[in-house]
Amino acid sequence: MRTHRGDHSGWTFLTNHARVLLSIARDPEVRLRDVAAECGITERTVQGIVSDLEAAGYLTRTRAADGRRNQYLIDTASPFRHPAEAGHEIAGLLALLAPRPADAQDGIRDDAPDDSVRQP
């Protein structure tokens, strides 16, 4: 039996790690409680995911200028972790699912020379 697109049968195409990364890409100063609400997971789970992403080099966390919030910088040249996506950078996922306006100032670091990858 085939499920319909509107059917929420318990599985999705993206992991929670991908959802958290996309949420941060859309707003590099987002509060983790807002990420949790957007992703439908607990704030504690988001904290663990952010720690995972930071430890793996996908993002860097610093204090924002106001000293109250964190600010995140994403390294778009980071490769996917699974062997099935080996050789692909996360830049493609971010460009597809977290597009940004051309004049946006955000926390995306792009060390790749390819013009199709997002530039800060």
pLDDT in tens, 8-55: 678 899 999 999 999 999 999 999 999 999 999 999 999 999 999 999
Residues in the chain: 120
Number of domains in the chain: 1
- Distance between CA 10 and CA 109 in Å, rounded? 34
Instruction: Look at residue 1 and tell me if it is in a domain.
Output: no
Residue 20 tokens read as 């958290």
Average pLDDT of the residues in 102-120 = 46
State the residue range of the domain holding 22. 16-109
Specify if 105 maps to a domain: yes
**Does 95 map to a domain?**
yes
CATH number of the domain to which 87 belongs: 1.10.10.10
Q: pTM for the full model?
A: 0.77
* Residue 8 resides in a domain: no
Whether 117 is in a domain gets the answer: no
Question: Is 28 contained in some domain?
Answer: yes
* pLDDT tens, position by position, 44-101: 999 999 999 999 999 999 998 888 889 999 999 999 999 999 899 999 999 999 987 6
